[in-house]
Chain A
């Protein structure tokens, strides 16, 4: 079958939109992993997680500026900035768990949830206070090139980075959870925290480790996004965090492959709304509404999410 030029162009446009959608979808997936792991272990929705994504972007910004990578783009600079901001975010994530969530963990789940909301606002406005709300531009750490895939569909270095780095991180996470001792402990705690404790697992450590892991992934998302869309500001984590949360629920909260699937789906769905919504009378600015409409649908039709299993709540 041969396509005429008009069809070819439509096809190119469609493929381009899918690439655009999967780019932001990968970011949502990275953040969604943190939501889903913490939920899997503590049954807590960590609302401050979206802000950790922002903290990661700012940490990368400070590092790149302080170490001079902003002026001389290099692969080394990018890796140092990425790992550095992941480390800083992991430390902050652990500190939040240690000083905000652990003291209230013994009370009802609602108490921890409210604490998480408070924590989120605290981080946001602390950053507004320190850095002011003005958008800052994140330096380009690697020279940005564009590659033509075929026809008109192009992909930029920053998009390739997002795909490659997030894929590597997801494989790494899979390895930790299923191949290592700490991963086994995480699964045990997620299965039943009290039994795990009786088996001699240091649950406090496992929980802290989970927060560190999730926060590092979110920070990686922050640095990667900032390479793609260099505007960073203290409230950037709110909407992105919410959408990542929707992604986690969509995939089945507590389920790691589900979070990745959910992230990619939300990213693709909202880009398709921007690209093709106008044909069916949906303006492009409804992209945010789509994520939440999907959430409502999933909760109605399949409350456990796409890959989630129904867990009987113990009474």
Chain B
């Protein structure tokens, strides 16, 4: 019992010291580097996102440092693995801020993890830029939280428009991931927009990332025979859903979002990915020189085609460097204002302007998946407020 009391005492001392650290203001403009803290899922269920984000960010940092850095300082990336778990995301972001003293936070891809970590950055007044979290709530956490990708209300409406206008669909079913903020947000928007365009949602099904199969949900949907199925999930599940849908003889177009974009999907989904369309941040086959230059240098460095997480992380670092230049340093308040004032920044994924909600206003593309070449084919560009 005595031992227990002593250890409890030690634990409480340790914890209180952590709390104190949290409270101190962070202001270190000294030193010759500007530290960017990247938190990403490097070993969990969405680790393909994390690895690509890491690669994309590193490429941008290398390019910037090769040309002398920003305002006379080099950029440095400090990476932490959150294993794709929200509680872990929160922990590693406090470590990045309190221990590594980073001046800006970059991440995460998955909205659920960004949402968990954002309050920590907001409290410490460290600007946080998420490159790929598309759920609305993320930037609503506070005035230090930004994003450089479009939001779900736009992404969901893009696919609803595409289904109704291009595919002439009258009925749709939705199969969503019940534990993902991203998936729930997209489901809501797609349903609203598709109904507004005169379509009808005939069935809404859900799954969890650990489900052993998806044929139960698919069989129910099959009986209703919708024109399209919208599956706003992540690549680990959607590939298998597509495969099993085809096994059940369901041939209708399947629609998804940027969560599908990872190299693993080709192996998981195989031929089942024929006749599927996704909304995404950029098209790798876009002939514009800024896109092709990026694709070329990324392929040279890593030997693979960059996916959207890679290009967004790259853009995020470039945008941050631009903001640091305009702010004349990495003072947290000035940097925050500089990011907020970003207007028409020419990024690989298109022109980015940050609006008053700290969200990026930018275009989205619709891509068709081609499993025989493991490639995404450009179908259409959809601009906001159009």
* Interface residues in chain A, defined as those with a beta carbon under 8 Å from any beta carbon in chain B: 9-10, 12-13, 16-17, 20-21, 23-24, 27, 128, 132-137, 140, 144, 146, 148, 152, 154, 156, 225, 228-231, 233, 236, 238-240, 270-271, 273-275, 278, 283-285, 287-288
Q: Which residue of chain A is the closest to B249 with respect to CB atoms?
A: A154
Q: State how many angstroms separate the Cβ of A125 from the closest Cβ of chain B.
A: 10
Q: Are B178 and A285 in contact (CB under 8 A)?
A: yes
Additional A-B contacts beyond A13-B219, A23-B215, A230-B267 (6; CB < 8 A): A13-B223, A152-B249, A233-B236, A274-B205, A284-B205, A287-B216
List, sorted by A's number, 17 A–B pairs whose CB atoms are closer than 8 Å.
A10-B223, A13-B223, A20-B219, A23-B213, A27-B212, A133-B83, A134-B43, A135-B264, A137-B264, A137-B268, A229-B212, A230-B267, A239-B212, A274-B205, A275-B219, A284-B205, A287-B216
Residue interface bits B224-265, CB-to-A below 8 A is 1, else 0: 000000000000110110011001110000000000000010
**A135-B45, A140-B270, A231-B236 given as contacts; is B223 within 8 A of A9 (CB)?**
yes
Given that A17-B216, A137-B268, A284-B205 are known contacts, is A146 also in contact with B249, CB under 8 Å in the complex? yes
Nearest-neighbor residue (CB-CB) of B179 within chain A: A285
B residues 78-107 in Cβ contact with A at 8 Å: 83-84
Residue from A23, A140, A144, A231 whose CB has the most chain B CB atoms within 10 Å? A231
Is there an interface contact between A239 and B210, defined as CB atoms closer than 8 Å?
yes
Q: Are A229 and B213 in contact (CB under 8 A)?
A: yes
Instruction: Tell whether A16 pairs with B264 under 8 Å between CB atoms, given A134-B43, A287-B211.
Output: no
Residue B222 interfacial (CB < 8 Å): yes
A258 to B122, CA, bound (A): 56
Nearest B residue to A131, CB-CB: B43
Q: Which residues of B contact A (CB under 8 A)?
A: 42-45, 47-48, 83-84, 178, 205-208, 210-213, 215-217, 219-220, 222-223, 236-237, 239-240, 243-244, 247-249, 264, 267-268, 270
Q: How far is the CA of A309 from the CA of B33 in the complex (A)?
A: 71
Residue of A137, A233, A270 with most chain B CB atoms under a 10 A cut-off: A137
Question: Which of B45, B215, B264 contacts A133 (CB under 8 A)?
Answer: B45
Chain A: CB-nearest residue to B178: A285
Residues of B within 8 A of A10 (CB): 223
- Name the prevailing secondary structure of the B interface residues: helix
- A10→B223 CA distance, assembly (Å): 7
Contact of B208 with A230 in the complex, beta carbons under 8 Å: no
Contact A156 B240 (CB under 8 A): no
Chain A residues positioned under 8 Å from B239 (CB to CB): 137, 231
What residues on B are CB-neighbors of A284 within 8 Å? 205-207, 216-217
Identify the interface centre among A135, A271, A285: most chain B CB within 10 Å of its CB.
Answer: A135
Q: Which residue of B lies closest to A13 (CB)?
A: B223
A24 in contact with B213 (CB, 8 Å):
yes
Collect the chain B residues with CB atoms within 8 Å of residue A137's CB.
239, 264, 267-268
Q: Are B83 and A285 in contact (CB under 8 A)?
A: no
Q: How far is the CA of A16 from the CA of B222 in the complex (A)?
A: 10
- Residue of A128, A148, A152 near B222 (CB, 8 A) is A152
Given contacts A135-B236, A137-B264, A285-B207, contact A274 B47 (CB under 8 A): no
- Per a CB cutoff under 8 Å, which of A16, A233, A238, A239 touches B219? A16
Picked from A27, A132, A285, the residue with its CB within 8 Å of the CB of B208 is A285
Interchain CB contact under 8 A, A228 and B44: no
Min CB distance B64 to A, Å, is 29
Which of these, A13, A20, A228, A230, contacts B268 with CB under 8 Å?
Answer: A230
A231 to B219, CA, bound (A): 20
8 Å CB contact of A231 from B44, B208, B268: B268
Q: Which residues of chain B come closer than 8 Å to A136, judged between CB atoms?
A: 264
Tell me if A133 and B84 are in contact (CB < 8 A): yes
Chain B residues with Cβ under 8 A from A230's Cβ?
A: 240, 243, 267-268
Tell me which residues across on chain B come within 8 A of A134, comparing CB atoms: 43-45, 47-48, 264
Q: Is the Cβ of B206 less than 8 Å from the Cβ of A283?
A: yes
CA distance A236 to B236 in the complex (A): 13
Return chain A residues, CB-CB under 8 Å to B247.
144, 146, 154, 156
What's the least CB distance linking B249 to chain A, in Å? 6
Smallest CB separation, B88 vs chain A (Å): 12
CB nearest to A6 among chain B residues: B223
Contacts of B211 in A (CB 8 A): 287
CB distance from A309 to the nearest CB of B (A): 31
Chain B nearest CB from A132 CB (Å) reads 5
Task: Give complex CA distance A24, B362 in Å.
Answer: 44
Give the residue name and chain of the A residue nearest to B223 (CB). Answer: A13
Contact of A225 among B205, B212, B216 (CB under 8 A): B212
Which residue from A13, A229, A283 sits with its C-beta under 8 Å from B178?
Answer: A283
Q: Closest residue of chain B to A132, judged by CB?
A: B43
Asked whether A20 lies within 8 Å of B216 as measured between CB atoms, the reply is yes
